[in-house]
Amino acid sequence: MTLRINVPDLAFAAFLVALGAFAFALSAQLSVGNAAAMGPGYVPRGLAILVMIYGLGLGLRALFSGEAAFPTVELRPLLLIMGAVALFALLLPVAGLAITSFAIVVCAGFASYDVRLRENALAALVLAAGAVLLFVTALGLPIPIWPG
Amino acid sequence: MDLFTNLATGFAVALTPANLGFCFLGALIGTLVGVLPGIAPITTIAILLPFTFTLPPASSLIMLAGIFYGAQYGGSTTAILVNVPGESSSIITCLDGHQMAKQGRAGPALAIAAIASFFAGTVATVVIATASAPMAALALKFNAPEYFSLMVLGLTGAVVLAHGAPEKAVAMVLIGLLLGLVGIDVNSGAPRMTMDFAGLGDGIGFVPIAIGMFGIAELAVTLGKPQDRKLLAFDWRELWPSKAELRQCTPAMVRGTALGCLLGVLPGGGAALSSFAAYAVEKKSATDPRRFGKGAIEGVAAPEAANNAGAQASFIPLLTLGIPGNAIMALMVGALMIQGIQPGPQVMTSQPQLFWGVIASMWLGNLMLIVLNLPLIGLWVSLLRVPYRLMFPAIVLFCCIGTYSAGNTVFDIWVMLIFSLLGVFFTKVGAEPAPFILGFVLGPLMEENFRRAMYISRGDPLVFVQRPISAVLLALAAILLVILILPVVRKKRDEVFQE
Mean pLDDT of B292-310: 90
Q: Kindly give, in sequence order, each residue whose CB lies less than 8 Å from that of residue A148, ignoring residues fewer than 6 positions away.
A: A96
pLDDT at B201: 84
Mean pLDDT rounded to a whole number for chain B: 86
pLDDT single digits (tens) B350-380: 888 898 999 899 999 999 998 888 778 778 8
CB spacing of A112 vs B420 below 8 angstroms: no
Q: Which residues of B touch A86 (CB under 8 A)?
A: 414, 417
Looking at the predicted structure, is the pLDDT value of residue B167 above 80? yes
Cβ of residue A53 closer than 8 Å to a chain B Cβ: no
pLDDT single digits (tens) B3-45: 788 888 899 999 999 999 999 999 999 998 888 877 788 888 8
pTM across the whole model:
0.87
- Those of residues 42-81 in B touching chain A at CB distance below 8 A are 51
Q: Which residues of A touch B397 (CB under 8 A)?
A: 88, 101, 104-105, 108, 127, 131
Helix (H), strand (E), coil (C) string for A32-94: CECCCCECCCHHHHHHHHHHHHHHHHHHHHHHHCCCECCCCCCHHHHHHHHHHHHHHHHHHHH
Are B236 and B107 a contacting pair, CB within 8 Å?
A: yes
Calculate the dihedral angle through the C-alpha atoms of B478, B482, B483, B485, rounding to the nearest 10 degrees: 140
Among A16, A38, A135, the residue with its CB nearest the CB of B171 is A16
Higher pLDDT: A14 or B441? It is A14
Calculate the dihedral angle through the C-alpha atoms of B374, B379, B382, B387, rounding to the nearest 10 degrees: -110
Percent of chain B having pLDDT more than 90?
28
Looking at the predicted structure, is the pLDDT value of residue B475 above 90? yes
pLDDT single digits (tens) A32-57: 888 888 989 999 999 999 999 999 99
CB spacing of A36 vs B459 below 8 angstroms: yes
Are B17 and B56 a contacting pair, CB within 8 Å?
A: no
pLDDT at B1: 46
pLDDT single digits (tens) B311-325: 889 888 888 888 888
Rounded Cα distance, B172 and A91, in Å: 33
Q: Which of B114, B66, B107 is nearest to B90 (CA)?
A: B114
Q: How many residues does chain A have?
A: 148
Residue numbers in chain A where pLDDT is lower than 70: 1
pLDDT at B445: 87
Q: How confident is the model at residue B493 (pLDDT cuts 50, 70, 90)?
A: low
**ipTM higher than 0.90?**
yes
Measured CA to CA in angstroms, residue A132 lies from A144, B46, B134, B439 at distances of: 9, 20, 48, 36
Rounded Cα distance, B420 and B415, in Å: 9
Higher pLDDT: A118 or B233? It is A118
Kindly state the helix (H) or strand (E) to which residue B192 belongs, with its residue range. Answer: strand B191-192
- Which residue type occupies B74? G
CB spacing of B190 vs A115 below 8 angstroms: no
Rounded Cα distance, B131 and B312, in Å: 13
pLDDT at B182: 94
Are A16 and B167 a contacting pair, CB within 8 Å?
A: no
Rounded Cα distance, B185 and B187, in Å: 6
Looking at the predicted structure, is the pLDDT value of residue B162 above 80? no
Cβ of residue A28 closer than 8 Å to a chain B Cβ: no
Q: How far A43 CA sits from the closest chain B CA (Å)?
A: 7
